[in-house]
Chain A
Amino acid sequence: MSLEVSQLTVHHGAIRAVNDVTFSVKKGELVAVIGSNGAGKTTLLRTLSGLNKASHGSATWNGHNLLHSKPELIVRHGVSHVSEGKAVIPELTVSENLELGAIWRKNKKESSVSKAEIISIFPRLGERLKQRADTLSGGERQMLAIGRALMSKPEILLLDEPSLGLAPLVVEQIFQTIRDLTTSMGLTVVLVEQNAMGALNIADNGIVLNLGKVAVTGTAKSLIADPQVRAAYLGY
């Protein structure tokens, strides 16, 4: 089982937001995708989950083609995308947001079991089940978003900047939780982050995107040690 991306190109009008990107992610791996603003990280994730259309190239998960498919069908292949900006529906309650993640699964019993699991991972959500999602703090919303994605029992999780706008302590919590998920659930994770240090710290491997192209790949440790990466993204 793996994510195979080959020569992926995505256009925004005349501009190539993702330009000839090739990489692969094995099952159980946590890959950090870092790069500055406009590097194409978000577009990459959105293309993998079906929200954006690719103009060229291929991307498969477990042999399933991820391009030219609607997002709601891609979820059914085990790909869950937590989009940028605390992807919860504010008007729905915490409980409803979670249920949303499992709606497409026909088995009701399965989804109630899942909800219990999620609450054990994120106890704060359990305290707020009946509250509307827009009453949650930033950190709680992010947890809810991840929880919702987990409800569909994904095999691979695409996370877009989960640390955005959150306090450092909360960020630490969330990163730790993500690491635990990969280790304990055997989840594959593609973690897009501006917080390069935090992401590389928990990741197995890393990809650096610049202006839509893959600039560097390698193990997380080697990237942290790489002087160019350090200068450009790690701040020292």
Chain B
Amino acid sequence: MIQLINTLLIGITAGSIYALMAIAIVLVWRSTRVINFAQAGMALLSTYFGYEAMVHLSSFWIALPVAMIGGAAVAAFIELVFMRFLLKRSAHGAISGVAPIIATLGLLGVIRALTSAIWGGQDVRIVGPVSNVGYSLGANTLAFSPLKLLILVTVIVLVFLLSLLFQKSNIGLSLRASAFSPEIARLSGIRVDGVRTLGWSLAGASGAVAGMFQTVNGNGSFSPDSIEFSLLLVSGFIAAVIGGLDSLIGAVIGGLVLGLVISFVLMYINSSLFFIAPFVILLIVLFIRPQGIIGAKAARRA
């Protein structure tokens, strides 16, 4: 029984981190119709910003916003300098569909190489602000700690704020309108390009939080070659696809589903099936619902 609860808790915590990553992917997809494979790389870079803040200022609570702002800035920069140019140039041609995918893969490689070159040799560690020792429930230790609680609460708050932004604010309306129909948005006076950059910035910030939490939730160390990074890379994307790529709620659900399934597979089936589990889940979900769990009907022929 306690094992079941622990499995659930681990899955939900990990899943909420994947959800943040998935949200980043969905935000970029909705505003630019591009799958940003470099998102995890940007999250990695942001985490390094957070690390530097930790080193110089010794406070996680400062490091987290620093990472978020850094992530937003990097994302905005990439959108302004890189994506606009790319999308203009690759509008035609045989590989116009896949060109952005490949370009972001290239970007991922560049970010990876650069971060490895700059920070590679150091033993980079980030320690969370609260302890990661599990609460006690009678004689058992729960796989739930103050840190995990913090992560969960932060993710819930962030998702809540994001949905408020999207549904209730003018900026949110601009974001949605620009995503659904850029031309009509322009004709309504919305600066669609600026809005798109905003979408990317939000994604960058979201990814930064995912990166920071992924690190402190694990053993505290991270690098471009670490397992945590590969996991972030793949899980964010897969969670977004499972959820349907078009809605933030879908991203959250996708993240939770992925987190829970991986957790259960690890605990009850076999730990070395860890890596193949995302593949199987993805296949199953897409087989039953090719548009993802909450996917919109139109967008599959991307």
User: Taking beta carbons and an 8 Å cutoff, which residues of A are in contact with B?
Assistant: 49-51, 70-72, 75-76, 80-81, 83, 87-92, 96, 99-101, 103-105, 148-149, 152
Known: A89-B180, A89-B184. A72 touches B173 (CB 8 A): no
- CB-contact partner of B188 in A51, A91, A101, under 8 A: A101
Q: Is the CB of A88 within 8 A of B188?
A: no
Q: Is the CB of A152 within 8 A of B186?
A: no
Q: How many Å lie between the Cα of A88 and that of B187 in the bound state? A: 11
User: Taking beta carbons and an 8 Å cutoff, which residues of B are in contact with A?
Assistant: 170, 173-174, 176-177, 180-181, 183-192
Q: Is the CB of B191 within 8 A of A103?
A: no
Q: Is the CB of B183 within 8 A of A92?
A: no
Q: How many Å lie between the Cα of A103 and that of B155 in the bound state? A: 30
Q: How many Å lie between the Cα of A23 and that of B191 in the bound state? A: 30
Q: Is the CB of B183 within 8 A of A104?
A: no
Q: Is the CB of B190 within 8 A of A72?
A: yes
Q: Is the CB of A72 within 8 A of B177?
A: no
Residues in chain B near residue A75, CB distance under 8 A:
187-189
Q: Is the CB of A80 within 8 A of B177?
A: no
Known: A89-B177, A92-B176. A103 touches B190 (CB 8 A): yes
10 sample A-B contacts, Cβ–Cβ < 8 Å, listed by A number: A51-B183, A71-B186, A72-B186, A100-B173, A100-B177, A100-B190, A101-B188, A103-B173, A103-B174, A149-B187
Min CB gap A136→B, angstroms: 15
Q: Is the CB of B177 within 8 A of A81?
A: no
Residues in chain B near residue A100, CB distance under 8 A:
173, 177, 184-185, 188, 190
Residues in chain A near residue B187, CB distance under 8 A:
49, 51, 71-72, 75, 80-81, 83, 87, 149
18 further interface pairs, Cβ-Cβ under 8 Å (given A70-B191, A89-B177, A92-B176): A49-B187, A51-B186, A51-B187, A71-B186, A72-B186, A72-B191, A76-B189, A90-B180, A91-B176, A91-B180, A96-B177, A99-B170, A103-B173, A103-B189, A103-B190, A104-B190, A148-B188, A152-B188
